[in-house]
Amino acid sequence: MTTPKYRRITIHGHSGSGKSRLAHIIGARLNLSVIELDALYHVNNWHDTPLDEFRAKIERITKSSPNGWVSAGNYFRVKDLLMDQADVVVWLRLPFHIVYWRLLWRTIRDLFTKKPIDMGRQRFD
């Protein structure tokens, strides 16, 4: 497989806009590592990672992904590590009624399943 022209892609948008899903689709199609910022930042039942550790995790992932990466998340405290390094920045701006229903459904589902953040998809932590 040839190396894609755009190797560093970052995806931003409101909660429920589909950032992670799109990142996984792009990552699979282009054979790029996927960086889910929520999965790196929120650990052990949604406790926040200290900023220096969070930044170190991202630096480790990006350096260990020479073929490129796709990041999903809105953490502007790490903008210099991702957005400023990206070949492509994607902003998802879906209508409120779509995002609202996605978030409502996800919240209800997670309450009933007591589902923690999906750490299993993050391969680099």
pLDDT of residue 115: 65
In a domain, 3, yes or no: no
pLDDT at residue 4 greater than cutoff 90: no
Whether 74 is in a domain gets the answer: yes
pLDDT at residue 97 is higher than 90: no
122 falls within a domain: no
3-state helix, strand and coil shares in percent for the chain, rounded to the nearest 5: 50, 20, 35
Mean pLDDT confidence for 80-90: 94
Can you tell me the distance from the alpha carbon of 93 to that of 2, in angstroms, rounded to the nearest whole number? 31
CATH of the domain at 21: 3.40.50.300
What is the total count of domains within the chain? 1
Above 90 in pLDDT, residue 118? no
Q: What is the mean pLDDT of residues 76-95?
A: 91
| In a domain? residue 124 | no
1 lies in some domain: no
- Residue 14 domain flag: yes
Range of the domain at 100: 8-117
- Whether residue 120 has pLDDT greater than 50: no
* Alpha helices for the chain (secondary structure H): 19-30, 37-41, 51-63, 96-113
Average pLDDT along the chain: 85
Question: Residue 123: its pLDDT value, please?
Answer: 40
Interval 12-44: pLDDT, tens: 988 888 899 999 999 999 999 999 998 899 887
Q: Is residue 123 part of a domain?
A: no
pLDDT attached to residue 107: 73
Q: How far apart are CA 17 and CA 2, in angstroms?
A: 30
